[in-house]
Structure 1
Amino acid sequence: MSHRTYRRPRVLSSLREHLRDTFWFAPTLTLILVFLLWLAADAVDTALVDVLKETGDYEAVRSLAALSQDAKTIVTTVSSAMMTFIGVVFSISLVAVQMASGNLSPRVVRIFIRSRISKLTFSVFLGTFVLSLLVLTSYDSETDPRKVVSVPLVQAALTLLMVGLSLLLFIAYVTQTLQLMKVGPVVERVTRESFGVLDKMPVQDADTAPLPAEVARIGHQGRAGTLRDVHVARLVRVARRRGVVLRLIPRIGDFVVPGTPVLAVHGGGGDLPSRRILGSAVSVGVDRTFHQDLGFGLRQLSDIALRALSPAVNDPTTAVQCVDRIVQFLAAAAGRPLGAVHYRDRDGVVRLVQDVPGWGDLVNLGFAEIRGCAVGSPQVSRRLIAGLEDLLRFVPEARREPLERHRALLVAAVQTALPEAAERAFALEPDRQGIG
């Protein structure tokens, strides 16, 4: 088993990833910022009127009040139309999500949830609506310039700027939504996120001493669900204080129920870490995430390909596009060490060991199910043969066995399913485009 070390874990990395998987945080934060911006703009408008009154320039106050009344018409129109605009725009999202979920895989819905442009568009739209309401409350019914308290001119200008920004974001949002309704951009997005996880994998470490004897196991005490990630920094800190080594028993992505052992404690003098603290460092949710899950990208690509190869869809070209990306990912992972990840504290002592999928696991995840459905589709079988042979050309000798096994199984399945020699030869001819 290979041993490696991560760079020092970031304390807020888990929180950041959880917030990216939510849709409420960005709009809520935007509404707070808009309220603060309105308070600042209202203070500027009030200060401007006070300065003009101190100088006795009431004619200027009257002119500003008249100008702001003209802007009030626009602000009122924006306020009444913005919520309708929001409803229409995000109806596009629901249609796009429904189509992507039905045609590709339900797991690609997370792409829309994590989309920055979608969150930014929704946030700015809501912010524009709320700002327009706040600006309307600032209008003064007084006509005498001596009694005017505030002229919301700066506030009205900010509202118009927000409207302009909303229109620009609307164009960007529709463009991205249309892109994500196509297969190519979706599988490319999944692949890019998969490479993000792979790039966080550490470099090869020197030989690590065997772990001390196991002294205890910590069971899961929360709700049942998928192990999404662990708070690495917290576990390393707790293990360092207690002088122990913690080992994560399940892999990220495993389903755990209450009582399932999740952490093993190695070494120490009997002073075990608090079960409550350790339990709070383990995050369980409904769905898997990309945060620490190396195989989740291959799982999504495989799901999309399997749905495309189902009799109800029968879209082998989509399956070929998924195989393209699977081969790309495996080619990048072929030369990297895979196995147990060792996290160290600031003194360089191993404090947390986490198991990740090995090379054989990734190859099986990428090819096993697609291979089983590719027998009746020569386009996919030809692409699989080409991909396997491409990988066999440059993978290390120790990693050839899973690839050779899948190639042999594919050849045997095709030979069994196709009685004609010419058909077998055609289905097993390597072709990077399937059938072009």
Structure 2
Amino acid sequence: MDKLSGSWRRVFEKFWFVPAVCVLAAVVLAQSAVAVDRWLPEDLDSPWIAWLYAVGIDGSRSMLSAIGGSMLGVAATAFSITISVIATASSTYGPRLVRNFMADRGNQVVLGVLVSTFIYTLLVLRTIRSASDDLAQPFVPHLAVNLAVLMAVADVALIVYFIHHIADSVQVDTLVHGVRRRLLHVIERWHPEEVPEELVRTAGRPGGGEVPAGGTGYVVGVDYERLRDHAEACDVFVELVPRVGDHVLPAEPLVRVWPEHRAEELAGRLRRCVQVGDSRSAHQDVRFAEQQVVELAVRALSPSTNDPYTAVNAIEEVASGIAVAVSRPLPGNTVVVDGVHRLRYRTVGVEEVVDMPFDQIGPHATGHVSVLLALVDLAARIEAASVHPSVRRQAREHVDVLLDRFRDGAPHPRDLARVEEHVRLRSAG
């Protein structure tokens, strides 16, 4: 179910989740390896353990202490580097991209493996016994010690990977490609090539019994299947009022129910189908996924950054998602079950998807001819890919607005002639 998967997804994206799993695995591995060592014969000449690198009691303790101490120090360094990268990315590319770094599996795995190596060596170290101890007979877990050496070797390779990965993750190309993939994923979700038969487009109904949101936050996920099942089981029609990504207040309507006298009865079940959180997510939110790409371009054009090349790159990448949306039929907004309308929700129109880059990047592009030309190219791509006549007209109108804005800025005649010629060629092509 969407709500359950959405809740688990938010847990999986937490920075602590993978390290916690690695630590748990280290505890299990340490206990299992020591248990196997206790089962193996103690005679070092035995063929069962002849293949192991056998080290004495003092040597094993020294080796495990060196591995555990060094890995903990390296883990602290890796964590410091990660925090530094997050701070830099937040100030340069925008705070909404920080969650992409926090959810990065590479960073989580590196920190988790390094910390788990320390935990593993600590747990194995406590099982080593010498003849001078007051407890049991002398015991050295040779298998567990050898595993610690292998983990240390693997950690060295992991550190090399981490240095490469953290350097690659802050490159503009990597950031832009990442947000583009998320945009394409959510576009494909909401704009399929073929609209399912159970989905149709209808207008909203007046009236209805309102179920208030009951909390403050953003609508980050909706379990549409569960809403449909509730509507079908209770023989009602349900309309979701806000779209995914909208901000709601406790008294604002979350859903409407027909017949309206059933609203209070179903309020609890319907609220549980809608996930409200403190921050937006790109999983179901088309606008937020597109906004992340557009924000890169807007921040690149700020006076403090002044990087029009990154803005051009972001415009070229957002074109891939918009082209898919405008080339598909309009998505349905009403679920029909056995010929009966059961659930209606608001969708993000293709016009809104097209407007965002022009409305948000356009005002900042008049001082950069290369960015302006990239927006003109974007409009031409949209016009060529769209199957909706209204969207093609909309793209041409955006080009006219860009030209008017550019002329109002009193550009150099050469720049103006260059832009006008580019517009003419793209319009003719």
TM over 0.5, shorter chain: yes
Amino acid at match of 2:181: R
The residue correspondences of 1:65-76 to structure 2 (distance < 5 A) are 66-67=55-56, 69-76=58-65
Q: For residues 237-264 of structure 1, give each alpha carbon's deviation from its aligned partner in whole angstroms, at most 9, with x where no partner exists.
A: 3333222232221111111121121112
* Range with greater deviation from structure 2 (303-312 or 273-282): 273-282
Is contact 2:37-2:141 (8 Å) kept?
yes
Query: How far apart are residue 233 of structure 1 and its match?
Result: 4.1
Q: Which residue of 2 is the match for residue 190 of structure 1?
A: 179
Q: Is the 8 A contact 2:3 2:274 kept in 1?
A: no
Shift, 1:386, TM fit: 1.7
1:305 aligned partner = 297
Partner of 2:417: 425
> Which whole-Å deviations, capped at 9, do the CAs of 1:331-368 have from their partners, x for residues lacking one?
122212344444577x7966433322111110111221
Cα distance, 1:209–1:264 mapped onto 2, change above 3 Å: same
Q: Partner of 2:231: helix, strand, or coil? A: helix
Secondary structure at 2:422's aligned position in 1?
A: coil
Mapped pair 1:204 → 2:204: no
**1:31 corresponds to which residue?**
23
Preserved CA contact (<8 Å) 2:201 2:332: no
**Structure 2 counterpart SS, 1:305:** helix
**Structure 2 matches for 1:261-272, cutoff 5 A?**
261-267=253-259, 270=262
Q: Secondary structure at the match of 1:227?
A: strand
Which of 351, 357, 361 does residue 366 from structure 1 map onto?
357
Per the TM alignment, residue 13 of structure 1 is displaced from its structure 2 partner at its CA by 2.1
Conservation of the 8 A alpha-carbon contact between 1:335 and 1:395: yes
Question: C-alpha displacement at 1:148, in angstroms?
Answer: 3.0
Tell me, in whole angstroms, the C-alpha distance in 2 between the residues paired with 1:357 and 1:274. 27
| Offset of residue 172 of structure 1 | 2.1
Distance 1:204 1:56, change over 3 A: closer
Hey, what's the Cα distance between the residues in 2 that align with 1:307 and 1:269? 49
Q: Name the CA shift for 1:67/1:198 in 2 (closer, same or farther; >3 Å).
A: farther
3-state SS, counterpart of residue 258 of structure 1:
coil
What does residue 355 of structure 1 align with? Answer: 346
2:385 corresponds to: 394
Matches within 5 A, 1:17-416: 17-49=9-41, 52=42, 66-67=55-56, 69-142=58-131, 148=137, 150-201=139-190, 202=192, 203-206=194-197, 208=200, 215-222=208-215, 224-267=216-259, 270=262, 273-342=265-334, 351-396=342-387, 397-416=389-408
Cα shift at 1:373: 1.1
Contact 1:228 1:283 in 2 (8 A): yes
CA contact (8 A) 2:209 2:261 kept: no
The 1-side partners of 2:379 and 2:141 are apart by 67
Tell whether the 8 Å contact from 2:293 to 2:314 is kept in structure 1 after alignment: yes
- Residue 339 and residue 154 in structure 1: after superposition, are their counterparts in 2 closer, same or farther (change >3 A)? same
Deviation per CA, 1:274-298, whole angstroms, max 9, x where unpaired?
3233223322222211111112222
1:293/1:273 CA distance change after superposition, 3 Å: farther
Greater RCO between the two (CA within 8 Å, min separation 6)? 1
Distance across 2 between alignment mates of 1:56 and 1:296: 65
- Contact 1:251-1:356 at 8 Å conserved across structures: yes
Describe the superposition over 1:26-62 as per-residue Cα deviations: whole angstroms up to 9, x where unpaired: 222222222122221121111114xx58x997xx89x
What amino acid is aligned across from residue 307 of structure 2 in structure 1? Answer: D
> Which whole-Å deviations, capped at 9, do the CAs of 1:387-424 have from their partners, x for residues lacking one?
21122123122421221121110011112222554331
Provide the secondary structure at the position in 2 that maps to 1:274: helix
State the TM-score, normalized to the length of structure 1.
Answer: 0.85
The 1:78–1:85 alpha-carbon spacing in structure 2 relative to 1, beyond 3 Å, is same
Aligned CA distance change for structure 1 residues 170 and 393 (closer, same or farther; 3 Å)? same
Which residue identity does 2:351 align to in structure 1? G
Distance in 2 (alpha carbons) for counterparts of 1:314 and 1:279: 45
Cα deviation, residue 322, structure 1: 0.8
> Aligned partners of 2:411, 2:157: CA distance in 1, in Å?
59
Aligned-residue RMSD, C-alpha? 3.0
Alpha carbons 2:282, 2:289 under 8 Å: kept: yes
Amino acid at match of 1:215: G
Report if the CA contact (8 A) 2:237-2:258 is conserved: yes
Amino acid of the structure 2 residue aligned with 1:314: N
Distance 1:420 1:20 in 2: 53
Rounded Cα–Cα distance in structure 1 between residues aligned with 2:421 and 2:164: 39
Match of 1:5 in 2: none
Change (3 A) 1:208 1:388: closer
Query: CA offsets, 1:223-245, max 9 Å, x none?
Result: x2222112334333333322223
**Which deviates the most, 118-127 or 79-88?**
79-88
1:191-216 Cα offsets, whole Å, 9 max, x none, are 01111212223431347485887531
Task: Tell me the alpha carbon deviations over residues 166-224 of structure 1, each in whole angstroms, 9 at most, x when there is no partner.
Answer: 222222222221112111110111001111212223431347485887531111112x2
What secondary structure sits across from 2:286 in the alignment? coil
| Structure 2 stretches lacking a partner, 5+ long | 424-429
Number of matched pairs: 414
TM-score normalised by L of structure 2: 0.87
Partners of 1:306 and 1:209 in 2: CA distance? 34
**CA shift in 2, pair 1:277/1:271, >3 Å:** closer
Letter in 2 for 1:322: A
